[in-house]
Structure 1
Amino acid sequence: MRIWSVHPRYLDRQGLTACWRETLLAQAVLEGATRGYTNHPQLERFRELPDPLGAIGDYLAGVADEAGERGYRFDASKVHRRSAGPVTIEVATGQLSLEWRHLMAKLEARSPELALRWAVVGAPEPHPLFSVVEGPVAPWERARPQA
């Protein structure tokens, strides 16, 4: 499961679809509707919030918005709840950088034209739910940092 901190605009078709599916799974986990993935580290940053389900719904809405911009139709009725007010989650520059390298490696392998398009991006924008702060890779991250 990967709940990307980078803006969904950077994801290729496969990545955007996988992000939607995996975040729907995360929503089910947070609702207690599944027994799998209950201790997945990607969920820690949502569980720390006062309204984890609202925040995951806001995340899903951001992914659905990007899908809509591309002409895809993700079923927004699958988003069970949104937060009552604006929610932001801090993401450290180290975490964003690690995810960017991870994503670029995936894009180079399966969508090289998109990798070339995004290669000029210095620091990627985060998903609209996140605000960037200085700092290292998150303690919950299990991907290995690359040099």
Structure 2
Amino acid sequence: MRIWSLHPRLLDRAGLVAGWREALLAQKVLAGETTGYRSHPQLQRFAAHADPMAAIGAYLRALQEEATGRGYRFDASRIRAPERADGPERIPVTEGQLLFELEHLRRKCAARAPEAAAALPAPGEVPPAHPLLRVEPGGVEDWERG
């Protein structure tokens, strides 16, 4: 499971589609509707949120909006948490985590979507984070397994 910390606009088609599918699974896990993936490390930041369902809902909404902008049809009715005008409290993410994920995405795109890889921020340049996340200094997150 990869729930990207990167801004959805950086994801290639495959990354965006897989991210949507995996975030929907995360929503199911957070709702207590499946026994699998309950202790997946990438879910820790959502599970620790004051309102986990609002957080995953905001995460999914940003993916859905990016997909719509690209002409894809991600079914927004699958997002369970109602949209709030003020949005949920933002989740911290470290610069090191964003850099780690950028290089991970770069390797994936080099193999499947070279044009997307070429459009990514330069190596070492801290990329934009998902709108739900708040960027802070620091290394790779403790929950990252690579």
Please tell me the TM-score bracket, short chain as reference.
Answer: over 0.9
What CA distance in whole angstroms lies between the structure 1 residues aligned with 2:111 and 2:23? 23
Match of 1:38 in 2: 38
Contact 1:55 / 1:83 at 8 angstroms: preserved in 2?
no
Tell me, yes or no, if structure 1 residue 92 matches structure 2 residue 90.
no
TM-score, structure 1 as length reference: 0.93
2:28 aligned partner: 28
Offset, 1:83: 6.0
Paired residue secondary structure (2:119)? helix
Show the counterpart of 1:12.
12
Q: CA RMSD in A?
A: 1.3
Which one is further off, 112-121 or 52-61?
112-121
Question: How big is each residue's C-alpha offset from its partner over 1:101-131, in whole Å with a ceiling of 9 and x where there is no partner?
Answer: 1011101110011111225472211011011
Corresponding residue of 1:112: 114
Q: Which residue number in structure 2 is paired with residue 55 of structure 1? A: 55
Structure 1 residues 108, 119: closer, same or farther in 2, change over 3 A?
Answer: farther
Structure 2's unaligned 5+ residue stretches are none
Q: Deviations over 1:18-76 (max 9, x none)?
A: 00000000000000111111110010001111100110000000000000110111000
TM-score by length of 2: 0.93
Displacement, 1:82? 3.9
Contact 1:51 1:83 in 2 (8 A): no
Q: 1:74 to 1:123 in 2, by over 3 A?
A: same
SS in 1 for 2:80: coil
Contact 2:95-2:139 within 8 A present in 1 as well: yes
Inter-CA distance 123–78: structure 2 relative to 1 (3 Å threshold): same
Contact 1:53–1:82 (CA under 8 A) maintained in structure 2: no
